[in-house]
Amino acid sequence: MPPKQKHGLSPVKRERARTGALVILAVLITLFAVFNLDTVKVNWVFGTDQAPLIIVIVISLLVGIVLTHFAERRAGKRR
């Protein structure tokens, strides 16, 4: 019999909960993007153009992921 944990979830249950939360978040983000298909005016650094809102959302999400990744790496190096 495995030793009892003092408190909290077991590592396996914690990982399943985390995976489930990430799947739900991915579904919500996908639904949000799919329901926003209108074309919008986008002010780029060097001009203005029309783009589907779903593209603007996806680009913003990707930029956020990349910036978070580099911020976490930089914070990890400081430790």
For residues 56 and 33, is the Cβ–Cβ distance under 8 A? no
The answer to whether residue 45 sits within a structural domain is yes
The answer to whether residue 33 sits within a structural domain is yes
The answer to whether residue 3 sits within a structural domain is no
Pairwise CA distance, residues 73 & 66, whole Å = 11
| Residue partners of 46: CB distance under 8 A and separation at least 6 | none
Residue 27's pLDDT is what?
94
Identify the band that residue 76 occupies on the pLDDT scale cut at 50, 70 and 90. Answer: confident
Helices (H), ranges, 1-79: 11-34, 53-78
Structural domain boundaries enclosing 45: 11-78
The answer to whether residue 49 sits within a structural domain is yes
Tens-place pLDDT, residues 34-72: 888 899 999 988 899 999 988 888 888 899 999 999 998
Number of domains in the chain: 1
Pairwise CA distance, residues 32 & 74, whole Å = 31
The answer to whether residue 6 sits within a structural domain is no
The angle formed by the CA atoms of residues 66, 28 and 39, to the nearest 5 degrees, is: 75
Tens-place pLDDT, residues 11-26: 889 999 999 999 999 9
